[in-house]
Structure 1
Amino acid sequence: MKRLLALASLLSVSAAPLLAATANATHYDVAATWPVSGPGRWDLLEVDSARHHLFISRSDRVQVVDTTSGKEVGTIPGTDGVHGIVIGSGGHGYTSNGKSNSVTEFDLATLQRVRDLPVSGKSPDAMFHDAGSHHLFVFNAKSNNASVLDTTSGKEIATIAFDGNPELAVADGHGHIYLNIESTAQLVEIDAASAKVTHTWKMDGCEEPSGIAMDAAHHRVFSTCQNKVLAVTDADSGRAVARVAIGEGPDGAAFDPATKSVLVPLGKSGVLDVIHVDGANRYSKVQSLPTQTSARTIILDESDHRAYTVAAKFGPVPAGEKRPPMIDGSFSVLVLAPQGK
């Protein structure tokens, strides 16, 4: 009963009304829509700010779009079942290939494949690159663990087991990685240097956390939950700070420290919820920006404060099938920009 009362208190103080009167809150627009060619569903995104490249996972390849023009400038082929893309050090990037249980290393300047690195886990999905340790953490969705790769040697040097299937991760810049465990609604803290779990915290009132972002200045982790809440956790203690009401179908999140905005794309609601950080423990939802149904993942370019999501249109579900077909030529990038920029 005490736990239920505590959660009710969190929701009552944190789920501020839409368009709350929050000083200096930033609102967003869909500044542009860029068509992207070819078939294939999608998952995660990455951005290379230095080269103005947006990377989009597309089933068996990664498509690259120039963020200054919106034009396609390259493709990284042969990434079967690709989910995640990350920027590493030394001018290289990495893709996680879910169907081949491998990681592809590629050159960021030329977009050419460097080498393929096998992982022992099953269905590698999200990834995180830790610049301090030169370790690549590959989160394996179907084996409930992480493969830790040394990016210098290209060898898997450790595995980390979890209680359930890992989702997306974020870091505080001081050697700590925070990871959502979707099936058990846990937040895990990993020490990047030792590649070991240091804390596991249960996120009460959060179902199937997926998207994650972090306000490092306030030591707050934001996890998007399928029961239409944003869970805010104290990264030092694991304490539940707030539960903020959001829309339906989140699969990603981003935080811009310059605008103090948490950006949550909602694939089922077809909106971007913008939540302003009023203080370490105070949050106000200031906008639900119409985007497009299926726009559920996001990446932020902190160099210009623009964020990117992708979406497509779908036809009716055929008899005997579970998923609707994607309409040819409907896939596109949506550019989300602060108003006036």
Structure 2
Amino acid sequence: MNTIISRRIGTAIASVFIFGLSFCFQNVVISGTLPSHNYHIIKKIPLDGEGGWDYLTLDSAARRLYITRSTRVTVLNVDTGLVVGEIPHTAGVHGVAIAPELSRGFISNGKAATATVFNLKTLQVIGEVKTGSNPDAIVYDPLSQKVFTFNGLSNSATVFDAKTTKVLGTIGLGGKPEFAAADGLGQIFVNLEDKSEVVAINTSNLKVKGHWALKPCSQPTGIAIDRQHRRLFIGCGNQLMSVVDANTGSIKATLPIGKRTDAIAYDPVTRLAFSSNGEGSLTVVHEDSADKFSIVNNVVTQPGARTMALDLKTHKLYLDTAKFQATSTAVSGQVRSRPTIIPGTFVILVLARTAAT
């Protein structure tokens, strides 16, 4: 009798739990591991040099990975695994944007409050542009041929012409910007970390089109876009991914992800979205339709691997991290602390899909 009661109670609890998941994560299917979508580490590329890191940018056509390293940008050939060059004097570097049709690249230098302009072929510096305070994310809009730096301490975006490097204006954002994504049709979407919002910007007139609340997502960081279906994938500090309609700002789904995400990527061919998580995991999500999503897998990576780039040619993922000491040191001006990096342990992780069966 007690066994029967226990089973009934257990069944009831399970039913409540499943109902709760369905309520919290509408339009989400927990599908389990699909072999053809199961990513795993296939290679580790150790790189010399000290310092931290931030965003990764991959030029799939040129086969180059741009790795931001505190005071410089290291450029890696992803086919050979060899370093092909370095762009120095980028104090507090955060990100790299590329304009292949102009053969130009752009680097956001957080400590210098500048953007470096360089030649994509030679890696030689062409010039610098003054920005707002602590430029973080940097995005090139191919339609308007403008570059946007999102300034973390100024709560603004600096906009300049990619050809002439002339500053065209400053856009007030009303909050601290994190990462951004362009839709190629004249809009850029940027997360506001402290407001838990995404801001839509018109790249033609440099006006804010709207502020969209991301609740229940909080502290949004990485963002990627499915341009065909007009969906934004946004990683949040409270272990959620929000899928947002890029036309209306409505939330289409909310999915559970790993801890300490910092980058999101989307592959339009496989229709997979990825969240790289600092806990040492990669959450893989499949877009079944524009309004239905399946959690495919949570892949073990390495602690600290929270930034990521996607190779659209091979569908491989590139993450960077290092090994850390057990003790932490405070980050100046911030409450949080970061673990101390062990010198000589910086590495690029290369992940690929398991062959379909």
TM-score of the superposition, structure 1-length normalised?
0.92
SS in 2 for 1:324: strand
8 Å CA contact 1:10–1:241 kept in 2: the answer is: no
Identity of aligned residues (%): 38
8 Å CA contact 2:329–2:340 kept in 1: the answer is: no
**Structure 1 gap ranges (5+):** 1-6
Alignment pair present for 1:161 and 2:176: no
Alignment pair present for 1:332 and 2:342: no
Q: Which runs of 4+ in 1 moved over 6 A?
A: none
1:188-199 superposed matches below 5 A? 188-199=199-210
Cα distance in structure 1, aligned partners of 2:278 and 2:25: 25
Does the C-alpha gap of structure 1 residues 300 and 10 become closer, same or farther in structure 2, counting only changes over 3 Å?
farther
Q: Going by fraction, where is helix more abundant, 1 or 2?
A: 2
**Structure 2 gap ranges (5+):** 1-19, 332-336
Cα distance in structure 1, aligned partners of 2:97 and 2:206: 18
Counterpart position of 1:316: 326
1:237-316 superposed matches below 5 A? 237-268=248-279, 270-316=280-326
Work out which of the residue numbers 43, 61, 82 in structure 1 matches 2:93.
Answer: 82
Per the TM alignment, residue 199 of structure 1 is displaced from its structure 2 partner at its CA by: 1.4
Aligned residues: 331
Does the C-alpha gap of structure 1 residues 15 and 110 become closer, same or farther in structure 2, counting only changes over 3 Å?
same
8 Å CA contact 1:97–1:104 kept in 2: the answer is: yes
Alignment pair present for 1:183 and 2:183: no
Q: CA RMSD in A?
A: 1.9
Does the C-alpha gap of structure 1 residues 188 and 318 become closer, same or farther in structure 2, counting only changes over 3 Å?
closer
Q: For 2:276, give the aligned amino acid.
A: P
- 1:269-317, Cα deviation, whole Å (9 max, x unpaired): x111100111111111111111000000111121221121101110122
Cα distance in structure 2, aligned partners of 1:280 and 1:324: 39
Identify the range of structure 1 (327-336 vs 135-144) with the bigger mean alpha-carbon deviation. Answer: 327-336
SS in 2 for 1:16: strand
Work out which of the residue numbers 130, 141, 158 in structure 2 matches 1:118.
Answer: 130
Q: For 1:107, give the aligned amino acid.
A: N
TM-score of the superposition, structure 2-length normalised?
0.88
Alignment pair present for 1:92 and 2:104: yes
Per the TM alignment, residue 43 of structure 1 is displaced from its structure 2 partner at its CA by: 0.3
8 Å CA contact 1:107–1:113 kept in 2: the answer is: yes
Work out which of the residue numbers 51, 56, 65 in structure 1 matches 2:76.
Answer: 65
8 Å CA contact 2:233–2:242 kept in 1: the answer is: yes
Cα distance in structure 1, aligned partners of 2:216 and 2:248: 17
Counterpart position of 1:136: 147
Counterpart position of 2:182: 171
Does the C-alpha gap of structure 1 residues 197 and 9 become closer, same or farther in structure 2, counting only changes over 3 Å?
farther
8 Å CA contact 1:25–1:259 kept in 2: the answer is: no
Cα distance in structure 2, aligned partners of 1:188 and 1:336: 31
Per the TM alignment, residue 323 of structure 1 is displaced from its structure 2 partner at its CA by: 3.2
Cα distance in structure 2, aligned partners of 1:96 and 1:12: 36
Alignment pair present for 1:39 and 2:53: no
Cα distance in structure 2, aligned partners of 1:87 and 1:15: 34
Cα distance in structure 2, aligned partners of 1:319 and 1:195: 40
From the CA coordinates, give the structure whose radius of gyration is larger. Answer: 2
